Chain A
Amino acid sequence: MKKIFSGLKKKLNRITVKSLVGTVALLVLFTAIVSIAGYRSFTNALMQQYAEDAFKTADVAAAMVDADDIPAYLFSGNTDLEYRLTRQQLRQVCDNSGAFFLYVICPDVTDYWHITFVYSTVSSQSGYTEFEFGYVRETTNEDYRTKYQMLYEGQSGQELVVRDRGYIPSDKHITAMVPLKGSDGATRAILCVQYQMSELDSVRMGFIYKVLLILIIVLILVILIQVFYLHRLLLKPIHTITQEASRFAAENEKAGEPLTHSIRNQDEIGILAGSVDRMEEQVEQYIENLTIATAEKERIQTELNLATSIQSSMLPDQFPAFPGREEFDLYAAMDPAREVGGDFYDYFLIDEDHLCMLIADVSGKGIPAALFMMGSMIILKNMAGTGKSPAQILFDANHAICENNKNDMFVSVWLGILEISTGTLTAANAGHEYPAVCHAGGSFEIFRDKHGLVLGAMPGVKFKDYEITLAPGSRIFVYTDGVPEATDNEKSMFGLDRLIEALNQQLNASPEQILTHVRSAVDRFVKEAEQFDDLTMLCLEYKGKTKV
């Protein structure tokens, strides 16, 4: 039972309760208005009926009394046979009419505060006793007093006193009064007929009870209908929608049957159900697309990772680079800003006495640059192996690159060939950054070498070789523009001056230490700023034939 009740309570949630409270309040108000209006009109109608009856009885009785005799009775204090006959007649009228009390009085005309009973008859049902002739008592209240006076002074032909409020010793009653006039037209006495209004209360309360009963029945019906209606048209669909929404949130799978199949409301609920259906469809579609996109992204990422690995495996990264060659030490590193970069370096021995080194930077970044870099690197390596001079190598490479370069890509290259036995470095520069050279015992300085155009820009461009003689202990440092153009959060660049400063801080360091040091100087400079360019460096230390 408790379970059913709590279940019901759950279903009769706030919406139901709120709407029921409103309806019940309206019904109660309506009932109150009907009751009050009914009560009033019942009272008025009954009162009128009692008054009519009372006046009719009074008229009948008045015709039986000879008013001219009354002063003589009162004066003498004695009654006669005619009096007794009249009294007998009045008793019959009283009994037959349904009146409780029928009497004739003479008020004390000085202030009307005392009355003297002339005739006094009571109904046998009333249980009252008659007053004796000549009985005097105080006027009951101001209402009676005023009306006695009005009747005596001829201001009205009949008066009515209603006693249905406040404390009344007997039942509620109504008293009709008519003046008894002598042959001269003057009022000699007042005839009063009193009716008990015992039925008034029972009829009025009966009405109220009926109205209340009807109200209760209507209320129960309204509550049942409303609960049913709300449940069927509002709560059940909402419950269904809520269940479906939480199911969908948990499973992320469209329902087998759309909500609009079971919820056919043409109202906001129906619209809501339709919206939930559409939302589920769209979310599912979205999830599907997202899954595809994510899979695609993962695939691309996997390929990029593979590309990164292929690209980095293209660059020699085994150090020491030439174990057993004591005449020189070399170190290089490439750090792409994205997964793949456009920078590259290479070094290899052309023969026992000639070491080729190159560093290059392809225009642009990312995959296009990486693809172009691969091609350029292979071309350059092939050309370099032919034993030509750097300028000639660059000229040939430019020619090869320009042949199939529809996208106007280009690559800047610095290429040097060291004659290991003499320390003579022959180099050429195709639009690449200036090398920094540190002669034995000196410090690093930017070497403003002769520049040619980048490779791939224009066919037939010529380059010039230049020579630097490296004494044992000399170093040469080449780099791509990612180093001097590393940018901090305030958009200022690392620059050549800071590079030279960093290079000169550890003059006796090995090429590997130099690269590490420059890299940390760049990192300190840019701090948290994201870098957009690849960072590539190569450093050679020429030691000469120190050992044989």
Chain B
Amino acid sequence: MTIQTQKQEKQLIVFLEGRLDTNSSPELEEYLKSRIDEIRELVFDFEHLEYISSAGLRVLLAAQKQMNRQGSMIVRNVSEPIREIFDVTGFCDILTIEA
């Protein structure tokens, strides 16, 4: 998995590519931990994300909880298989998903 970010003042856009699974999730968790403290708007761009496992959902959940306290979080460009995962797990209820 590759992580790329784009930062504008208090907004951070995270582009993920590949598979966000048990092996790559700790990397994303570590990556976000040091970067989102000052952020007011966190955006995940999933255009090139192929798969998300429960471990990846856990990272998203943690980020969502933190952003609930300090601003907002958006997940965008969600592909159909990942949309399906969000639906099944009920994450679509707590995440702000832009098509």
- Contact surface of A with B, Cβ cutoff 8 Å: 361-365, 408-410, 412, 430-434, 451-454, 457-458, 461, 481, 485, 532-533
Contacts and interface: CB of A to CB of B under 8 A. Distances in A.
B58 A451 contact: no
A114 B25 CA distance: 124
Contacts, number: 60
Interface stretch (B3-11, B31-39, B69-77, B87-95): B87-95
Pairs of residues from A and B, 9 with the lowest C-beta to C-beta distance, nearest first? A453-B90, A431-B89, A363-B54, A431-B90, A408-B62, A363-B58, A364-B55, A452-B90, A451-B90
A18 to B, nearest CB: 59
A453 B93 contact: yes
Given A408-B58, A454-B57, A532-B22, 5 more contacts: A363-B57, A410-B54, A453-B90, A453-B91, A457-B91
Contacts of B53: 485, 533
Interface in B60-99: 61-62, 65, 87-91, 93-94
Contacts of A481: 54
A412 B58 CA distance: 12
B55 A454 contact: no
12 contacts: A361-B54, A362-B54, A363-B55, A408-B65, A409-B58, A451-B87, A451-B88, A451-B89, A451-B90, A458-B94, A461-B93, A533-B53
A439 B91 CA distance: 30
Range of interface residues on B (Cβ < 8 Å):
10 to 19
Contacts of B90: 430-431, 451-454, 457, 461
**Which of B54, B55, B61 is packed against the most chain A CB atoms within 10 Å?**
B54
**Which of A362, A458, A532 is packed against the most chain B CB atoms within 10 Å?**
A458
Interface in B15-57: 21-22, 53-55, 57
Contacts of A485: 53
Contacts of A365: 22, 55
A402 to B, nearest CB: 11
Given A410-B57, A410-B58, A364 B91 contact: no
Contacts of A362: 54
Task: State the main secondary structure of chain A at its contact with B.
Answer: loop
A453 B90 CA distance: 4
Contacts of A533: 53
A432 to B, nearest CB: 7
Contact of B88 (A408, A431, A461, A532): A431
Contacts of A361: 54
Contacts of A532: 21-22
A431 B91 contact: yes
Given A364-B22, A458-B94, A434 B55 contact: no
Given A481-B54, A532-B22, A412 B61 contact: no
Nearest to A462: B93
Given A365-B22, A408-B65, A410-B61, A452 B55 contact: no
A531 B93 CA distance: 30
B93 A452 contact: yes
A408 B87 contact: no
Given A408-B61, A431-B89, A532-B22, A457 B54 contact: no
Contacts of A451: 87-90
Nearest to B62: A408
Contacts of B87: 451
B96 to A, nearest CB: 14
B91 to A, nearest CB: 7
A433 B58 CA distance: 17
A363 B20 CA distance: 13
B54 to A, nearest CB: 4
A454 B54 CA distance: 10
Given A361-B54, A434-B88, A453 B22 contact: no
B2 to A, nearest CB: 16
A501 B90 CA distance: 26
B94 A364 contact: no
B92 to A, nearest CB: 8
A453 B89 contact: yes
